[in-house]
Chains A and B, each alone.
With several copies, the nearest count.
Chain A
Amino acid sequence: MSLLTVRYLIDFAYLLAIVLFILALRWLSSPATARRGVLAGEIGAAVAVLATLANPQIVAYKWILVALLIGAIVGMPLGLVPMTAVPQRTALSHAFGALSAALIGISEYYVREPHITKFGMAEISLEVIIGGLSFTGSLIAAGKLQEVLPQRPITYRGQNFVSLSVLGLAVILALILILHPGDAYLFPFVVVVSLLFGVLLVTPIGGADMPTVISLLNSYVGLSAALLGFVLNNKVLIVAGALDGSSGFILSVIMCRAMNRSFTNVMFGAFGQVQSSAAAVEQGRTVRSATPEDAAAILSAASSVIVAPGYGMAVAQAQHKVRELFDILTKRGVDVKFAIHPVAGRMPGHMNVLLAEADIPYDKLLDMDAANPEFPHADVALVIGANDVTNPAARTDAGSPIYGMPILDVDKARTVMVIKRSLSPGFAGIDNPLYYLDKTLMLFGDAKTFVGDIVRELAGGSSA
């Protein structure tokens, strides 16, 4: 086969991979076809990798196979983490993706230098800056989510100024390089400064804001892959990068909308975003609390129950106990459904994955728009470790930081029961008037323990 024929075959293999990647995402449109989508993605990736190995430019196969093997060995455990560790796993894999994109850009620079064109230098600098900042930014995000780093936002005076100056420095260095591609000694500084900027960008942001940050980093990583495709004239990188980039972008827009926070605010790194400390709980208001026995009695008397899970369920890893509760109530003829707020938990779709893990059928999971009309007909709304996403202040209190955020209408149900450990606020740091309603019963305790107690009670003290 002539070299040209091989090149054409590789190009067509890449096209096939692209088509399979697009189909993979299309098939995620419903859980019924989603696994087929993964298969399509896998085949596409295999086609792309095999076609690349056929590239006649490649001479050093042995080490590549070793590197692939190491990648597989590292990747396996990262594919087998428990569901509760998915947020930090995602951040970590963004870091790997960004690292790889940045390293390729760096090595391409040193291969071409000093015969690099201005245009090529511009592409590579942009690619390396975005790759570099995404790498360190994702590492910091992973550290915060894994609670290796402090979760609270770390802020100081003049922070915006410092961060922006660092970014400016990276850009200026890159511009000098573009004008004088010979000044190779500047290139390491571009790399280091963009790494530094990634740290400065993410450190000030609170741990609970990490999901939005991760999605944005996702879209940066996609962008850097696409830029790499421009540098190397490789269309499969451009397409995969564009798909990844738009996915991250859309998810962050969805999150921002669901939190009613401005997108530009997050887009520009949510600089200096300071967590408002817990609002003073108004005095003189009382809450009614209840025991697992009371809760069990109310639940078994209900004919329809809607469960509104939140971050607390994830933290407590209560999903399996919730499944037991679902089973026992369903067996008694109670209609049990789940209402999933788009930003419940700490990443998009968080609750869905946890509940699916616990074997709760997905047709019982309603998204917010489907669930809200159901609450007025429900006997009990059972809130498990959710707070902000059920806060009626979002509807009425124009002064509240979450004013305008769409919420789950749990307060429309006949009775509301809330499982959490205390009256302390959630992510947004604000008081929740829901707890002081006459129809609300507070069930104080850890979500896993409390749900377990209810289940034991319902089973007549005999089970678990």
Chain B
Amino acid sequence: MPSHFISSVYVFVLAGFIGFEVIKHVSRLLHTPLMALTNALDAVVVVAAIIIAGRAQTPLSTILGLVAVAASFSNMVGGFLITDRMLRMFKLSRQKKP
């Protein structure tokens, strides 16, 4: 077991608790934007893809890494974009006719 494994487990468990607490209190109205937003946040795997591609260790790892960069970054861009588009649509009665 690598030395950082146990602290990774702690972080995972604590983040899981936060996930449950926070998601439970997301407004029911916003469950579709929630799916889009978590999608965009999860696209942070782009970080790992950049490292894999950027280390340029073998041609294979570079190519796979680059595909992963493109795939996850498209999620990041698209995810934030559509979440914001959806949320802009939610208006209160009094905001409706400004």
Contacts and interface: CB of A to CB of B under 8 A. Distances in A.
- Interface of A, helix, strand, loop or mixed by DSSP: helix
A315 B67 CA distance: 35
B46 to A, nearest CB: 6
Contact of A37 (B5, B37, B49, B77): B37
A161 interface: no
User: For chain A, which range describes its interface: under 10, 10 to 19, 20 to 34, or 35 or more residues?
Assistant: 35 or more
A77 B40 CA distance: 15
Counting chain B CB atoms within 10 Å of each CB, the highest count among A17, A93, A225, A349 belongs to A93
Nearest to A35: B87
Given A97-B43, A99-B71, A238 B12 contact: yes
A236 B44 contact: yes
A107 B92 contact: no
Contact of A8 (B1, B45, B80, B82): B1
A427 interface: no
B10 A107 contact: no
A237 B80 contact: no
Contacts of B25: 26, 29
Interface in A87-125: 89-90, 93-94, 96-97, 99-101, 103-104, 106-108, 110-111, 117, 119-120
Contacts of B79: 75, 79, 93
- In this complex, the member of B33, B73, B87, B93 whose beta carbon has the largest number of chain A beta carbons within 10 angstroms is B73
Interface in B1-57: 1-2, 4-20, 22-57
Interface in A222-279: 222, 225-226, 228-230, 232-248, 250-251, 254
A24 to B, nearest CB: 7
Nearest to A222: B42
A350 B86 CA distance: 11
Interface in A53-69: 53, 55, 57-61, 63-64, 66-68
A365 interface: yes
A111 B72 contact: no
Per DSSP, chain B at the interface is: helix
Contacts of A126: none
Contacts of B38: 25, 218, 222, 243-244, 247-248
B69 A71 contact: yes
Determine the interface band of chain B, counting residues with CB < 8 A from chain A: 35 or more
Nearest to B19: A246
Contact of A22 (B18, B29, B83): B18
A63 B23 CA distance: 37
A78 B78 contact: yes
Given A72-B74, A104-B65, A28 B16 contact: no
B51 A41 contact: no
A41 B80 contact: yes
B30 to A, nearest CB: 5
Nearest to B53: A64
A141 B4 CA distance: 36
B54 A57 contact: yes
Given A74-B74, A75-B76, A228-B45, 7 more contacts: A24-B41, A45-B41, A71-B69, A236-B47, A238-B12, A243-B41, A356-B91
Interface of B: 1-2, 4-20, 22-58, 60-62, 64-93, 95-96
25 contacts: A8-B6, A15-B13, A25-B37, A53-B50, A57-B54, A60-B56, A63-B62, A64-B53, A76-B78, A93-B79, A97-B39, A100-B46, A100-B49, A103-B64, A107-B60, A232-B48, A233-B4, A238-B15, A239-B11, A242-B18, A244-B38, A247-B34, A349-B30, A356-B89, A363-B93
4 smallest beta-carbon distances between A and B, as pairs:
A79-B81, A71-B73, A246-B19, A58-B54
